């Protein structure tokens, strides 16, 4: 990314995207705690948190300002390669 003048992580996103990522991250962490508080087993809360974390990673990858449009598949390629 330094070749494009992006030398810090937050520069990959617009302010609105950063806010959305922050809110999703906050509630992803909160979901695990809520499941534990509701009496679910630790394994289930860890699994849900892992899936939500993976979704957050995909959202950040495909929602960055340098994402690419894949013309052949008509999909978003993401900023760190195609997933």
| pLDDT at res. 59 | 84
| pLDDT at res. 52 | 94
Please give the model's pTM, rounded to 2 decimal places.
0.67
All residues at 6 or more sequence positions from 58 whose CB lies less than 8 Å from its CB, including other chains: 78, 83
Tokens at 3, concatenated: 């070749």
All residues at 6 or more sequence positions from 81 whose CB lies less than 8 Å from its CB, including other chains: none
Closest C-alpha to 43, from 53, 32, 52: 32
Q: Which tens digit of pLDDT belongs to each residue from 34-82?
A: 999 999 999 999 999 999 999 988 888 877 777 777 677 776 666 655 4
Q: In whole angstroms, give the CA distance from residue 11 to residue 7.
A: 7
Average of per-residue pLDDT across 14-38: 91
- Domain spans of the chain, in order of start: 8-76
On the question of pLDDT at 83 being above 70, the answer is: no
């Amino acid at each position: 990314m330094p070749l494009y003048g992006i030398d810090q992580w937050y520069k990959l996103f617009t302010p609105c995207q950063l806010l959305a990522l922050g809110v999703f991250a906050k509630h992803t962490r909160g979901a695990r705690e809520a499941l534990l508080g509701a009496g679910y087993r630790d394994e289930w809360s860890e699994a849900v948190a892992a899936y939500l974390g993976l979704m957050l990673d995909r959202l950040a990858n495909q929602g960055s300002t340098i994402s690419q449009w894949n013309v052949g598949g008509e999909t978003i390629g993401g900023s760190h390669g195609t997933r």
